[in-house]
A and B are shown apart, each in its own frame.
Chain A
Amino acid sequence: MAKSDELAQIIIGCKNGDSNCFSQVVDMYASRCYGYFYRLTSNNDLSDELLSELFVKLVEKIASYKGGSFDGWIFKIASNIFHDYLRTKQRRKKLLDVQKKQLELEITEPKKSDNEQIDKLQIQLTRLDTDTRELIMLRFYSELGFKEIAAMRSEPIGTTLAKLHRGLKKLRELMR
């Protein structure tokens, strides 16, 4: 409870344009949101970019936060940013039909950048479809309950549970 009170104070500070409060939000969420982006994109540079975009959006949209789960709110923005990224990829894919195959690989295959170590989990995650991968990451990094995740994805809770169970079971098999 004390934590949520503290967070509420920080959010009020953010709404008043206090840069220290925004810094606190960055410290609180950067790690989880980065993990979320990284596990979805398999790319450090891209995750850096998406994380920066997330916090810029946070500054722009903080006035529209009307209470409720802040984790849910921030991960909803993160999810939208990831989907925008996917749509941009799709558009590029349509424009550059010749490079279609290559771009698809870009989305799904882990790509090493400077000093980047691709772990086994990351390799196996790319074998799951984007939707399932996103659901697993949303569940793991956002720390939201199933009800909130289902509401965020606008689908029945039964569907969310079934998809997640299927995805995690497959991941376990892949990791063996």
Chain B
Amino acid sequence: MNGRNDENLKELFEKFLDAEQAQKYVEDVQKAEQILRENPAPEPDDMLIANIKAEIAMRLPARKTYVFKHIAYKVVSIAAAVVFLTAIGLRLFEKDDSKPSPVQRASIIPTAIWESDDITTDDADLAIFTIEIEQIEDEMMVLQFGEDDTNGDSSVSELEMELIEINNSDFWKG
């Protein structure tokens, strides 16, 4: 802190005036300030000071309540925002989840193909299998977006039949 007592007034005036003038200005200021010191302003009344202190004491609990309310409102709004964003996040996550991931697709490939050593046959089987899956996916899409012109129930049944057929057939065995 560079208070009044710490500053060098002459040095300050010398930045703008020559040394002689600066000295005169400093004396002017000091003499005038002496007049202010010799004529003190009235002191505040003791009753006024007591009233001010009482008012402060009265206002403090109210201020604390206000601060508490302020913090509480902030916490509640932040919590609401977090819940809202989480809900949105989960929804988006669910949407992304609707498409089968490569891992999921791989997991429905029959174990026999994984365990087989006959690469040529397996490749052909995999190609057929992939086509089957894509066909099912297309049908699912048609069903999902309601683009199927025919009866929806029959399409579902057909799809189920196809899935059962894939499951039961031994086409990958060659």
Chain A contact residues, majority secondary structure: helix
B41–A22 contact, CB under 8 A?
A: no
Q: Is B129 part of the binding interface, using a Cβ–Cβ cutoff of 8 Å? A: no
A145–B2 contact, CB under 8 A?
A: yes
Q: How long is the Cα–Cα vector from A169 to B29 in the complex, in angstroms?
A: 7
B52–A52 contact, CB under 8 A?
A: yes
Q: Is A97 part of the binding interface, using a Cβ–Cβ cutoff of 8 Å? A: no
B59–A172 contact, CB under 8 A?
A: no
Q: Chain A contacts of B16 at CB under 8 A?
A: 158, 161-162
A121–B36 contact, CB under 8 A?
A: yes
A121–B35 contact, CB under 8 A?
A: yes
CB distance from A137 to the nearest CB of B (A): 9
Q: Which B residue sits closest to A120, measured CB to CB? A: B39
B35–A26 contact, CB under 8 A?
A: no
Q: Chain B contacts of A71 at CB under 8 A?
A: 1, 3
Binds A, one of B6-14, B87-95, B132-140, B147-155: B6-14
CB distance from B9 to the nearest CB of A (A): 8
Counting contact residues on chain B (CB < 8 A from A), the size range is 35 or more
Binds A, one of B42-50, B74-82, B101-109, B166-174: B42-50
With A31-B43, A144-B3: A168-B28 Cβ-Cβ less than 8 Å = yes
Contact of A165 among B25, B48, B49 (CB under 8 A): B25
With A55-B56, A145-B4, A165-B25: A39-B41 Cβ-Cβ less than 8 Å = yes
Q: Is A147 part of the binding interface, using a Cβ–Cβ cutoff of 8 Å? A: yes
Q: Which of B2, B6, B41 has the most CB of A within 10 A?
A: B41
With A140-B36, A172-B28: A34-B41 Cβ-Cβ less than 8 Å = yes
Q: How long is the Cα–Cα vector from A161 to B11 in the complex, in angstroms?
A: 12
Q: Is B119 part of the binding interface, using a Cβ–Cβ cutoff of 8 Å? A: no
B32–A26 contact, CB under 8 A?
A: no
Contact of A35 among B25, B31, B32, B41 (CB under 8 A): B41
Q: How long is the Cα–Cα vector from A161 to B10 in the complex, in angstroms?
A: 11
Q: Is A96 part of the binding interface, using a Cβ–Cβ cutoff of 8 Å? A: no
Q: How long is the Cα–Cα vector from A39 to B42 in the complex, in angstroms?
A: 9
Contact of B33 among A47, A55, A140 (CB under 8 A): A140
| Chain B contact residues, CB within 8 Å of chain A | 1-7, 9, 12-13, 15-16, 25, 28-29, 31-33, 35-36, 39-45, 48-49, 51-53, 55-57, 59-60, 63-64
| Chain A contact residues, CB within 8 Å of chain B | 4, 17, 19, 22-23, 26-27, 30-31, 34-35, 38-39, 44, 47-48, 51-52, 55-56, 59-60, 68-69, 71, 116-117, 119-122, 136, 139-140, 143-148, 157-158, 161-162, 164-165, 168-169, 171-172, 175
User: Ordered nearest first, which 9 A-B pairs have the shortest CB separation?
Assistant: A168-B32, A35-B41, A121-B39, A34-B44, A145-B7, A19-B57, A145-B2, A38-B41, A22-B56
A-B contact pairs, 24 of them (CB 8 A): A19-B56, A26-B56, A27-B49, A30-B49, A34-B43, A35-B40, A38-B42, A39-B41, A48-B44, A51-B44, A56-B56, A56-B59, A59-B63, A121-B39, A122-B41, A139-B4, A143-B4, A145-B4, A145-B7, A146-B9, A147-B7, A161-B16, A164-B29, A172-B28
